[in-house]
Amino acid sequence: MHAYRSLATRFARIGAVEDAAGILGWDAQTLMPNGAAEGRAEQLAQLRVITHEILTAAETGNLIAQASDDEAALGPWERANLREMRRAYRHASAVPGDLVAASSKASSRSEMAWREARETSDFAMLTPLLAETLRLQREVGEAKGAALGLAPYDALLDGYDPGMRRAAIDPLFSALRETLPGLIGAIRDRQAAMPAPIPLPGRFPVAAQKALGLTLMRAAGFDFERGRLDSSLHPFCGGASDDVRITTRYDEADATRALMGVLHETGHALYEQGRPAAWLYQPVGNARGMSLHESQSLLIEMQACRSAEFCAYLAPRLRESFGGEGSAWDADNLHRLYTRVEPGLIRVDADEVTYPAHILLRYDLETAMIAGDLAVADLPGAFDEGMRGLLGLRVPNDRLGCLQDIHWPGGSFGYFPTYTLGAMASAQLFRAARESRPGIPTDLAEGDFTALRGWLRENVHGRGSLMETDELLVAATGKPLCAEDYMRHLRHRYLGEG
């Protein structure tokens, strides 16, 4: 047990350093002046090197080996913790420290350049920095792949979604490619035969949007003693253990998008705030991968808060917040606004039916880039071609195309598929929650998330990384990840089937 306790002390240090990096990363995207970018890149790189050095030290490997010899004496949480320690050690020890530092600096520089490039719609400005980020991420993938016996992309994917592989994703995504065009067409035909939703009229002051967003966060159960809401160019959830920072972006011409953005990030935050308190600074206390993390944001935003029941709660509060008058502010119209299916260029603004097409495109592009089959300079043209093929849309400029997302400049290759995998898991989990607690829809009409949040705390949040992803889903829903409940949900909500 001594070896295991020594490991736990080491990983608690790593957790504290990662929390510090989380706050610095949040600051870089919200408050930091542009002139501090180079210094911040160095700070974050050094923190990542520190965690890498602790992880890859010979003593860490020796302690893992010794603790493994005594594994039978450990309890279930300790055994799972040791499993996650091994996983982290294998990933870290596969990558040389100088590559960790170089990759971190390149990503930070590329991310800061992306902000200006996006603003001016100038992909050429970003191209050399993104190319360097890609080159280094490819090296990371190759190094990890060699150590883990995985293809480079699978090795990068495993860092975001432990155990997930292209061999599991490709059949699910191939089925979506075949099903989506017909489904989108059928839904749009059905909606065209119905009264069109009335856009909410007027201007929507940011202060009023934020106030309503805070009200909705409180209703969902966000703990403001351990977190906060801010603004950023790209909405995200970050920060540290017991200090969860979420952001959104506001548009004074449209209040509906920012509110759903807040609820989406609140779903992420509830997961972070619901992790097992006794294990917050241990690997077993971490969220169980990004597919499950995305399932929590999409469960709150898409499954719960775009439901007719929640719209009945939200409509009068919208009306009161912005002085609305007339039928545009009725719950039925609000529900039709939030479930309108219409192909668009911007991923984060996409409806839940066309959203998977945005992920299919990015999945195709990033797997090609990591494989060396697509050069960064050719990305804008490939993005435009993919949008035409999947959604029938032409991309008029880079800002609305390949510059809209922060992921690739930030070095997050392997992240994108988790969004649609998360959408599948969200439908699966929401179905199971409603079956377990049938009063959830009625509660949502009152703005009461207690039962839903309680079920999620018990079956997802509070389990941390105690189980592998499919093991957790089987325990919570009776089956591993599949597309069945997701497709049933879409057909029920948008075509009235089932």
- Hey, which residues are catalytic here? 265
How far is the C-alpha of 308 from the C-alpha of 494, rounded, in Å?
12
How far is the C-alpha of 416 from the C-alpha of 366, rounded, in Å?
9
The two three-digit tokens of residue 322, written as one number:
């912005």
How far is the C-alpha of 357 from the C-alpha of 39, rounded, in Å?
38
How far is the C-alpha of 374 from the C-alpha of 344, rounded, in Å?
24
Q: Which of 60, 55, 28 is nearest to 44 (CA)?
A: 28
How far is the C-alpha of 398 from the C-alpha of 376, rounded, in Å?
13
Q: Which of 356, 346, 313 is nearest to 490 (CA)?
A: 356
Residue 75, judged by CB atoms within 10 A of its CB (0-12, 13-18, 19+), counts as exposed
Helix (H) or strand (E) holding 228: strand 227-231
Q: Which of 449, 480, 498, 438 is nearest to 172 (CA)?
A: 480
How far is the C-alpha of 253 from the C-alpha of 249, rounded, in Å?
12
Q: Which of 156, 186, 428 is nearest to 302 (CA)?
A: 428
Q: How far is CA 373 from CA 94, 149, 318, 367, in A?
A: 24, 22, 48, 9
Q: Which alpha helices (DSSP H) does 94-222 contain, by range?
A: 97-120, 123-148, 152-160, 166-192, 206-220
Where does residue 392 fall: left (phi above 0), alpha (psi -120 to 50 degrees), or beta otherwise?
Answer: left
